[in-house]
Chains A and B, each alone.
Chain A
Amino acid sequence: MAEKPVVAIHKLSKAFGKRPVLENINLEVQQGEILGLLGPSGAGKTTLVKAMIGLETPSSGSVTALETAMPNLKIMEKIGYMTQADALYHDLTALENLQFFARLYGLKKAQRKERIEEAAHLVNLTEHLHKTVSQYSGGMKRRLSICIALLNKPQLLILDEPTVGIDPVLRKSIWETFRSLKDSGTSIIVTTHVMDEAEKCDRLGMIRNGRIIALGSPDELMARCNARTMEEAFLYFGGVNDEN
């Protein structure tokens, strides 16, 4: 592709103490692409996305986002990030949470109002903005979390397990949101351990024990190993290192 990648990871390794968490990761994400990172918990997905946004310093290798070496405060302003935990202030209302993060990204009053309305509409929370977060259901909290990540109109959206604990209907509508964002040019990186969700990504990186064991479009990956389901494919690629 002629365009520069939105995220470029080169020979990234990360160890906590002596324990390696990521080993020799090479990965590129293009503009307007949804990249899924699929793997069991503990595989290193969260560490990988945290390295992308600059919250984790690599032991070796490099991470470039939007053509700038991370971490970089200017670039962080253009990235939306949703953590695995619902990082919300539970004693405040949803609107107050949104106002806070919008201010943090330097949005002016008029802009703030507009962006909050827009993002809340996308995740279907418009009617519940005046409730305190502690009254929210698990699914609503997740949606509010996604909503916050959308406030700064990010060019790159990184979501760590965004649909955990969300019912299928809502999950579908969230994925529709992702696709419409993708169509408007946003690159999205999603981590998941749900196989059928992985199939919805444009490209998929399978992660196990800190390594990318396979990378390609879901169809490509399944064709490569003659698998009928994503689960079979994952077992096939993972089996190489698996003695069981």
Chain B
Amino acid sequence: MPVSKTVLGMNARNFLYIRPFNKPSAKHLADDKLETKNLLLANNIPTPELLATFYTRKDVRNFEWNLPENGFVIKPARGYGGSGIIAFKSWRNGIGTTVSGQEYTIQQLESHIFNILDGAFSLQYAPDKAFIEERVIQSPFFKKIAPVGLADIRIVVFRLVPVMAMMRIPTLQSFGKANLHLGALAVGIDLATGITTSATSKSRMIYFIPQSKKKTAGMKLPNWEDMLLLASRTQQIIGLGFAGVDIVIDAKKGPVILEVNSRPGLKIQNANLASLRTRLERIEDMDIPSPKRGVTLAQTLFAEKFSEKVTTSPQILPVVYPVFIRIKDSVKEIKAKLDTGAYRSSMDKNLAEELGLPIEKEQIFIKSASGQAYRPTAKLSFQLAGKKITSQVTLVNRSHLKYPMIVGRVDLKGFLIRPEIDHEQDNDLIDEVEE
């Protein structure tokens, strides 16, 4: 079947894709962030947790204002163009500090929510609902790429098949918002591998991220397949045929759905240097049975040429690598040794106590070069190179060793270890007792 090579314009998008594939009821649902969120939660799709909802003025007056100290976000359900959203980075003694440093008292927050309910931020000033959700803490991977604001990933999904994706990186010019109109960067992503390709900002090609001077091409996003599957499942649940799914990566939860758009913008084509229309026409008359099949199809059909050369095989890590452990509200970084010689991961006893890990009653029998012993264990979940690992670690006194933690074979699934030692890492490794 011949497919059109032209770029997808507004006329074609509205008439050929939105009108036939997005039913009014589904559009209405996607336009309401609160309803979308409830539906996603009911279907076990990860999304920032809902802390409070306000349907009437009475709800606001009865609210206790017990909010998490490390921040939250207030949103109108049907806000127009991102207006009315306030993100707080801290909440102490009834005073909230926004991400940009402004302070709000409870009274000011109440009046903001009243404004939302009156429809100050919705189209046609229709009465609205307000809600408070937990704040997404950007994962360390994105913090390096996007030092200002929260970067997000937009995946356009058409009838269960992800057709195009881009990462939106906020800049100083866009006031830390991932809004392309304001001058945020749009970075194209190869669907097969999750590696970034070209980038544009305001219809101009960009090669470096302005703040961090990093190259825009060649970054590999973590958990790429999970994100594609998540986007496809979200599209299925919301019931839109043609949807733009916005995903952010939380340091603790991994990819979470932020919102779903029933009229996805077309500038994504500039970021990917590819026509959406060609891709949509290719899959228009196919019936895809499941999101999983849709993702496989997308990765096969819409792979960039270079993806053939990329081995999607394990990520290669050096011997010493930081591990992130999340305890309650803070993230702790620990230098760990990735040790393929060890079967289990083990951790310094003192550190485990310091972190407050619950020690399991059951002890594990360990055989090592230095003898055999029963060791106490603890349940621990940590993040290694963007991958969340939940494991049972053995506890031992490592205070005489350089690295307080060893990551063993069971937890290194999906990684390869580069054996040579980096210059920055000292030769002290030799002193380590092999287990």
Q: Do A and B come from one complex?
A: no
